[in-house]
């Protein structure tokens, strides 16, 4: 790489702005007002406070679910959802090998056995054909992850669950605002979970949600998240359980965010369109969308052609003030996950994948700057 070119670009870049972070939440609504209401009322914990219930009700109605219960973060939502199934050691739970490690960890934490499945080349989602090959008489449940905000092949995966009497759990942590056949994801499975971490489409600071199809499952989840506190006898507990509740302060932020959900989606869609326009000529591949899904555009991700370009491009962008993230490592590559077999498609994607800045706050001139920097990287590499 030509050194003087490189420093010129840095200089030009700094005239425009400082670092472009990979994510930044959009906090333009009543977040401050609602948090102040918590402080003024002194209800800042999780046992009482109006915002918890309000957020739960509004969230349920937004996605079209009947039963929801809020929790303190995404991994706890996953663990709580799985705990309602009362899995036994040896029971197997199917999941995609390419996803956030929280999903696999939650399965291990219940004592059950995670069984990873390879990805599809174009949508990067769990491959239904591969799922069929991984089924055994011990398979009890399947966790599908709507990776990067694209719905996975729910028709095919739901059919497998039905055929083999498996519980379907949807991991919608990246998919608030994602629709499949005009229905919001999280309303297909027996259970679903959402995360409201700072880089998720709507945030609570930290928070999560468990969605259940039936009232029975809701009862179980609610009981397990509140130390199985008796409804009729003070400080009496019938079961070993957890305290996974969301605080009123987090719910206050989340409610303010939910009120702006449509604005945030529109901004994220705009960001996605700008990237598409300005990256068009470059040798990068994006996640392929499918006809019956609406992408939430949670994160703007691209794959480089050759794995050796990945870190080089990331380093180049970093040097000019643009922050990126690599894709997740496929779970079988981590030392403790004990997954057998090969996962060639997930490896292919993971070795090439980069998440670009994806905040709803991004302006077109920033997307142009990012695109020009990527173009410059390829020009310098060809020289
Ligand atoms: C973010 C995320 C989680 C974890 O949720 P947090 O609340 O952010 O810890 C789990 N699974 C996936 C797929 C995620 O993207």
The model's pLDDT over 115-162, given as tens digits with 9 standing for 90+, comes to 999 999 999 999 999 999 999 999 999 999 999 999 999 999 999 999
Whether 112 contacts 140, CB under 8 Å? yes
What's the rounded mean pLDDT across residues 180-197? 98
User: What is the average pLDDT value for the chain, to the nearest integer?
Assistant: 94
pLDDT value, residue 383: 64
Q: Is the beta carbon of 74 within 6 A of some atom in ligand 1?
A: yes
Residue 173 alpha carbon to ligand 1 centre in Å: 5
Residue 233 alpha carbon to ligand 1 centre in Å: 36
pLDDT value, residue 48: 81
What's the rounded mean pLDDT across residues 35-54? 94
Q: Is the beta carbon of 205 within 6 A of some atom in ligand 1?
A: no
Q: Whose CA is nearest to atom 2 of ligand 1?
A: 173
More confident residue, 152 or 383: 152
pLDDT > 80? residue 256: yes
Handedness of CA 89, 111, 246, 167 (dihedral sign): negative
Q: Is the beta carbon of 99 within 6 A of some atom in ligand 1?
A: yes
pLDDT value, residue 6: 43
Rounded Cα distance between 327 and 325, Å, is: 7
Instruction: Give, as one character, the DSSP assignment of residue 215.
Output: H
Give the position of tokens 């056949």: 181
| 13 band by pLDDT with thresholds 50, 70 and 90 | very low
What's the rounded mean pLDDT across residues 11-40? 84
The model's pLDDT over 284-335, given as tens digits with 9 standing for 90+, comes to 999 998 889 999 999 999 999 999 999 999 999 999 999 999 999 999 999 9
User: What residues contact 372, with CB distance under 8 A and at least 6 apart?
Assistant: none
Q: Is the beta carbon of 73 within 6 A of some atom in ligand 1?
A: yes
Residue 1 alpha carbon to ligand 1 centre in Å: 37
Residue 196 alpha carbon to ligand 1 centre in Å: 8
Residue 74 alpha carbon to ligand 1 centre in Å: 5
3-state secondary structure (DSSP) of residue 156: helix
pLDDT value, residue 291: 85
Q: Is the beta carbon of 195 within 6 A of some atom in ligand 1?
A: yes
More confident residue, 39 or 14: 39
Q: Is the beta carbon of 145 within 6 A of some atom in ligand 1?
A: yes
- Ligand 1, pocket-test mutation among 78, 148, 195, most atoms within 8 A of CB: 195
Give the position of tokens 């219930």: 53
Q: DSSP H helical segments within the chain, as ranges?
A: 3-16, 31-41, 50-63, 74-83, 101-110, 128-134, 154-164, 215-225, 248-259, 261-279, 307-319, 344-352, 364-382
3-state secondary structure (DSSP) of residue 150: coil
Rounded Cα distance between 115 and 304, Å, is: 29
pLDDT value, residue 382: 75
Q: Whose CA is nearest to atom 9 of ligand 1?
A: 74
Q: Is the beta carbon of 143 within 6 A of some atom in ligand 1?
A: no
pLDDT value, residue 12: 47
pLDDT > 50? residue 15: no
Share of the chain above pLDDT 90, in %: 92
Handedness of CA 309, 313, 316, 318 (dihedral sign): negative
Whether 188 contacts 182, CB under 8 Å? no
Q: Which atom of ligand 1 is nearest to the CA of 208?
A: 7
pLDDT > 70? residue 5: no
Handedness of CA 86, 88, 89, 93 (dihedral sign): negative
At 208, phi and psi to the nearest 5?
-155, 170
Q: Whose CA is nearest to atom 5 of ligand 1?
A: 74
- Ligand 1, pocket-test mutation among 197, 298, 327, most atoms within 8 A of CB: 197
The model's pLDDT over 193-245, given as tens digits with 9 standing for 90+, comes to 999 999 999 999 999 999 999 999 999 999 999 999 999 999 999 899 999 99
Share of the chain above pLDDT 70, in %: 95
What's the rounded mean pLDDT across residues 178-190? 98
Q: Which atom of ligand 1 is nearest to the CA of 147?
A: 13
């Amino acid at each position: 790489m030509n050194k003087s070119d490189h420093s010129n670009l840095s200089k030009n870049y700094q005239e425009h702005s400082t670092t472009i972070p990979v994510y930044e939440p959009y906090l333009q609504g009543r977040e401050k007002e609602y948090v102040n209401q918590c402080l003024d009322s002194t209800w800042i914990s999780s046992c009482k406070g109006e915002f918890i219930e309000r957020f739960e009700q509004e969230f349920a109605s937004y996605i079209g679910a009947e039963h929801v219960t809020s929790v303190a973060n995404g991994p706890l939502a996953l663990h709580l959802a799985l705990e309602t199934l009362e899995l036994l050691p040896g029971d197997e739970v199917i999941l995609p090998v390419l996803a956030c490690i929280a999903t696999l960890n939650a399965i291990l934490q219940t004592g059950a056995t995670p069984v990873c499945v390879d990805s599809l080349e174009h949508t990067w989602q769990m491959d239904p054909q591969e799922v069929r090959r991984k089924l055994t008489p011990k398979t009890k449940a399947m966790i599908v992850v709507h990776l990067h905000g694209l719905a996975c092949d729910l028709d095919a995966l739901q059919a497998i669950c039905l055929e083999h009497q498996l519980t379907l759990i949807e991991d919608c942590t990246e998919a608030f605002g994602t629709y499949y056949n005009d229905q919001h994801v999280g309303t297909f499975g027996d259970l679903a979970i959402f995360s409201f971490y700072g880089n998720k489409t709507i945030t609570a600071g930290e928070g999560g949600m468990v969605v259940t199809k039936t009232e029975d499952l809701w009862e179980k989840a609610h009981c397990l998240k509140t130390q199985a506190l008796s409804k009729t006898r003070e400080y009496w507990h019938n079961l070993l359980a957890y305290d996974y509740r969301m605080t009123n302060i987090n719910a206050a932020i989340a409610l303010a965010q939910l009120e702006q959900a449509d604005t945030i989606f529109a901004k994220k869609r705009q960001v996605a369109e700008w990237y598409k326009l300005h990256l068009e000529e470059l040798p990068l591949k994006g996640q392929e969308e499918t006809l019956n899904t609406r992408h939430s555009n949670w994160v703007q991700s691209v794959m480089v052609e050759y794995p050796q370009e990945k870190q080089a491009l990331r380093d180049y962008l970093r040097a000019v003030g643009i922050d990126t993230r690599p894709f997740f490592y496929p779970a079988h590559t981590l030392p403790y996950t004990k997954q057998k077999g090969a996962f060639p498609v997930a490896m292919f994607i993971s070795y090439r994948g980069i998440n670009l800045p994806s905040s709803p706050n991004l302006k077109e001139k920033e997307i142009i700057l990012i695109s020009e920097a990527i173009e410059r990287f390829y020009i310098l590499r060809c020289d």
